[in-house]
Structure 1
Amino acid sequence: MLFFLASFFPLLFLLFKSLPFRPLPSWASEVTLLSNLFWQEFLYSLVKSLRNCSLAGARILSISSRMTSKRRCAPGVEIEESSVEMSVLDLPELALECILGKLSPAGLCNMAAVCSSLRDRCRSDYLWERHMKEKWGRVIGGVAHRDWQLYTASRKVSSGGGVGSTKQKKWIGALSCVWPLSWIKSRIESSSKPSNPLPDDSIMSWYLSLENGKFWFPAQVYNREHGHVGFMLSCYDAEISYDCHTDTFHARYPPHGRRAIVIEEGLQWERIRAPPVDTPAHDLHISDCLNDLHPGDHIEIQWRRNKEFPYGWWYGVVGHLETCDGNEHFCRCRNNDTIILEFDQYTPGSRWRQASINRKDHREEGNETDGFYGGIRKLRSKNEIAKWKQMWPTEVLE
């Protein structure tokens, strides 16, 4: 190597002196850049090789000294020393999975930074499914999952190289057949790519995006706008973002008519739920429970102020007709085409206290004064009913 360097530099100097001085062509700057890259990489590789040699020598000396010390020690000491050097990767597969399964999300992230083998294990969807369900299962629904898939797809498209990077790759690729440009190409491409990036479509990536608040997901909010009296015992669609510092949420409500977007901060977990149906906020939900509604059933019904507003889900109870005394043995309300809906959070005599719909041909009923009633959901879960009663206002509404 030294002989090559000693003979190469004088030859280069003589050629430079013998050539006449002429203006450099336009491509000379690029060749100069490649020359600088070559010598920089060459010196870097030389220093790295010397360092590896020194490290290898030191390791050989360490191993030989360790073997010598083991010969001088008792057998019990040797067994104890080998047990101290045991790695977590030496554990059986089932034991390692049990240990990783007990770690918190923060613990999995820290363990993933130890080595490549643990990184792949700690990023597996199998480990993150449980954490995803435990923390986000009650506020994340199918609509949010579809939005996440669209979000990751858009990130993949936006992360593609631009026109300048494409031209650079073509220029380097055309010259890569000439040594040493082949390893220059590989060096540039490897430096432009992040090392071991987290897959966008993994559950771990979804969890972390929810945790740091980067992903706004669709959900529904009970008693929106800090429990405004006009929204008591209702649930409206919104875009939700998590704030890990306060363990609360931010909500962006869609505009109501000409009204601007409303943002509410500091929402607690108990005021958020996953949308029970996939019907968008401005679309009518097709009711499939009308023939199954009886007095005393708990329901949610779509309601909006006018045609420009989105629907919200309002809690109510199926009541008896005026001609029925409420006696369960003589009640015929379940056989009548008219269904009475009662909203007991309002005072008797209020125009919001009661509404009637047609059992056979119900689509959207109402007017600009009383609003429009849309689709109906029958509440069959005791947890859903208990949740609405938990949101009951402290005072009767006018």
Structure 2
Amino acid sequence: MLLYFLITCLSFFLFSKSLSLKPLPPWACEARTLLSFWFNNRPSLGSSFKPAKKTMPRNPKPPTASEVVSPAPGEMSVLDLPDLALECILDRLPPSGLCSMAGVCSSLRERCVSDHLWEKHLKMKWGKILGPAAHREWQWYIASGNDLGCVDKQAGHRGFVKLVSLIRSISSLFRSKVVNSLNFDGFGDENKQQRQSNSSSSLPVDSIMNWYLALETGRFWFPAQVYNRENGHVGFMLSCYDAELSYDPHSDTFQARYPPHGRRAVAVEKGVTWERLRAQPIDASPHHLHVSDCLNELKPGDHIEIQWRRNKEFPYGWWYGVVGHLDSCDGNENHCHCHLNETVVLEFNQYTLGSRWRRTTVNRRDHREEGNEADGFYGGIRKLKSQEEICTWKRLWPVSVLE
């Protein structure tokens, strides 16, 4: 693909030489802009293709309406480049680059907001923590008429400044025919009235690009699960609970809201890192008992997650454990028949020997919810078959043994 792209660039160079003394058409300058965006985002190529120092100013400002040059009748445009070459360039741009290129013209804008371009960015950054529940929540969110709205007037963090510029550029692209300046002073009454008057040309709310921007700004709260909730509270070590999450672009972390239960109010945790998040493995309410479908195949050494809750008013959380041996078994694999017994031993080795939380048993044939108000209630079981899931739990293992 890269070879084809370089051949296309070489053809373009030879074609420009064939124009002899005639001035280059406007599309040549536009093509140079596209190429500069692509090469600037390929660090491995930056050393081989260094642009001239005076080609671009340090802080380029978006062109005004009078500065935008349209090709004269009969002249070629950047859109006359082969579709494959143009798509290759756009496909390699980051989200901020796509937003910038969308300001060149309406035709490029239609290309740059295409779902197939943004779907890749959505999956790459958000795919591991967005499950079916998050998709349903997004559909409800856009159906209720929510929009990106305004971005807080805050600065001081480099990543957040880029994010504000990205959102500002999209807002100006779809709510005005002129590309506005990307600074923090553009949220005045005059611009606000202009955006309202041009709301008919806004970005489609059901587009993947809109979803990506809603996630990036933190305005969209979505359901997911958090490992070791409430900053690794000892009472939740090696567990995973449902929560509503909002992204914080300042710190590249999340804010989590845990639903209320019993007499306990909503718990809020800030600074949740990406490594402590996952999408729900089971698409169901945390108050619903999971019907176990793996009991007959469980054997000593298998890694499992089991639902547990303190009492009937609490939601279930998923707790990590392993299948152990019966008391009558010496643990020798050549003589072990634990997998044939109706009783399945579950061990939680993060707890010390003798702890009431260290070990429990379930019936292989008719296991439902078991337990009491003192020791809590054990629910459905799911067998972990993914090595990635198992490694995640081991990485979260507590430093010291729990009581």
Q: TM-score, with normalisation over the residues of structure 2?
A: 0.70
Structure-1 separation of matches of 2:105 and 2:369? 60
Is the alpha carbon distance of 1:88 and 1:268 closer, same or farther for their aligned partners in structure 2, counting shifts above 3 Å? Answer: same
Structure-2 separation of matches of 1:314 and 1:225? 15
Structure-1 separation of matches of 2:339 and 2:398? 30
Task: Write 1 or 2 for the structure with the bigger share of helix.
Answer: 1
> Per-residue deviation at 1:114?
2.0
Return the match for 1:299 from 291, 304, 312.
Answer: 304
Return the match for 1:225 from 191, 212, 230.
Answer: 230
Query: Could you say which residue in structure 2 is the equivalent of 1:77?
Result: 21
Q: Give the partner amino acid of 1:358.
A: N
Q: Secondary structure at the match of 1:355?
A: strand
1:1-16 to 2 correspondences below 5 Å: none
Query: Could you say which residue in structure 2 is the equivalent of 1:127?
Result: 117
Is the alpha carbon distance of 1:339 and 1:89 closer, same or farther for their aligned partners in structure 2, counting shifts above 3 Å? Answer: same
Q: Deviation per CA, 1:332-388, whole angstroms, max 9, x where unpaired? A: 110111100000000000000001001000110000000000000100000000000
Structure-1 separation of matches of 2:363 and 2:231? 34
Query: Could you say which residue in structure 1 is the equivalent of 2:174?
Result: none
Number of aligned residue pairs: give it.
294
Query: Could you say which residue in structure 2 is the equivalent of 1:237?
Result: 242
Q: Give the partner amino acid of 2:21.
A: V
Q: Deviation per CA, 1:173-201, whole angstroms, max 9, x where unpaired? A: xxxxxxxxxxxxxxxxx984515211111
Is the alpha carbon distance of 1:383 and 1:325 closer, same or farther for their aligned partners in structure 2, counting shifts above 3 Å? Answer: same
Query: Could you say which residue in structure 2 is the equivalent of 1:27?
Result: none
Structure-2 separation of matches of 1:135 and 1:95? 25
Is the alpha carbon distance of 1:117 and 1:339 closer, same or farther for their aligned partners in structure 2, counting shifts above 3 Å? Answer: same
Q: Secondary structure at the match of 2:296?
A: helix
Query: Could you say which residue in structure 2 is the equivalent of 1:137?
Result: 127
Structure 1 residue 320 corresponds to structure 2 residue 325: yes
Structure-2 separation of matches of 1:207 and 1:334? 47
Structure-2 separation of matches of 1:262 and 1:191? 37
Structure-2 separation of matches of 1:198 and 1:78? 40
Return the match for 1:98 from 70, 80, 88.
Answer: 88
> Per-residue deviation at 1:89?
1.5
Structure 1 residue 264 corresponds to structure 2 residue 269: yes
Structure 1 residue 382 corresponds to structure 2 residue 326: no
Give 5+ residue unaligned stretches, structure 2: 1-17, 30-75, 150-194
Q: Secondary structure at the match of 1:147?
A: helix
Query: Could you say which residue in structure 1 is the equivalent of 2:203?
Result: 198
Query: Could you say which residue in structure 2 is the equivalent of 1:366?
Result: 371
What's the % identity of the aligned pairs?
67
Query: Could you say which residue in structure 2 is the equivalent of 1:70?
Result: none
Structure-2 separation of matches of 1:84 and 1:117? 17
Query: Could you say which residue in structure 2 is the equivalent of 1:118?
Result: 108
Larger Rg: 1
Q: Give the partner amino acid of 2:100.
A: N
User: Structure 1 residue runs of 4+, over 4 Å off?
Assistant: 79-86, 190-193
Q: TM-score, with normalisation over the residues of structure 1?
A: 0.71
Structure-2 separation of matches of 1:193 and 1:83? 28
Q: Deviation per CA, 1:253-303, whole angstroms, max 9, x where unpaired? A: 011211000000011110111111112111101111111101000000000
> Per-residue deviation at 1:150?
1.3
Q: Deviation per CA, 1:40-78, whole angstroms, max 9, x where unpaired? A: xxxxxxxxxxxxxxxxxxxxxxxxxxxxxxxxxx97112
Q: 2:26–2:77: 8 Å Cα contact kept in structure 1?
A: no
Structure-2 separation of matches of 1:278 and 1:256? 20
Structure-2 separation of matches of 1:368 and 1:191? 56
Structure-2 separation of matches of 1:102 and 1:309? 47
1:137-176 to 2 correspondences below 5 Å: 137-155=127-145
